Amino acid sequence: MRTAYQNELSALLAQVGDMCGLAGVSMERATRALLGPDLTLAEEVITDHEAIVEMGVATEERALVLLARQAPVAGDLRTVVSSMKNAADVDRMAALALHVATIARRRHPRCAVPDDVAPYFTEMGRIAVDLGNSARDVVVSRDPRKAAQIRHDDDAIDELHSHLFTVLKDQEWRHGVAAGVDVALLSRYYERFADHAVELARRVIYQATGSVA
């Protein structure tokens, strides 16, 4: 029975990890759709989003079954509860990738971001995907040192987000209000994607150490 229980815990963590991986793939594809611009890829991100939502529901149900049948305590209880919260964060990460793809589709055949700020989104997309992949790894490994690195890596995307707002406020901005709104929203989506990865990392540290710092 104990072996089966531990296998269920491992399966729960693996499922959350799989969700992280799918969210990272969604953001990678959404970024390519945005910068292409690529309407077909944007449509694929939008269509495939439902699979991540369904996986989130299944993850929550699996966690609730573990709580009801096994009544975990201490570290195991932290793992189960944190996994439920992590699944919710990954669901939001996937939704943010969906928002990026939606803007890409709405502005097609024009690229939603002007050429002079496109490199910022290339970099934000790269960092966001790396953070999603790192979140997948730390959820499964429960390594607090790797989790701490995610919190550090988030600083880079925060800096890009802040810099883009400086660009938007510059009197030299010549791309109009609509493009400015798109850039502001898109930058926020990438920044929030990274923030949710940081929340995952914080919970992994909590699972491993019991510390909320």
**What own/partner pairs with CB < 8 Å and gap ≥ 24 does 204-213 have?**
204/82, 204/138, 204/139, 204/142, 204/143, 204/144, 204/147, 205/144, 205/147, 205/148, 206/78, 206/82, 207/75, 207/78, 207/79, 207/82, 207/142, 208/142, 208/143, 208/144, 208/147, 209/144, 210/75, 210/78
Domain at 169, CATH number: 1.20.58.220
Asked if the model's pLDDT at residue 76 lies above 90, the reply is: no
Output the pLDDT for position 9.
84
DSSP string, 131-176: HHHHHHHHHHH--HHHHHHHHHHHHHHHHHHHHHHHHHHSTT--SH
Asked if the model's pLDDT at residue 133 lies above 60, the reply is: yes
What type of residue sits at position 79?
T
Domain extent, residue 30, equals 2-209
Asked if the model's pLDDT at residue 119 lies above 60, the reply is: yes
Q: Please state the domain count of the chain.
A: 1
Give percent of the chain above pLDDT 90.
Answer: 63
Instruction: Name the pLDDT band for 213 (thresholds 50, 70, 90).
Output: low
Output the pLDDT for position 212.
58
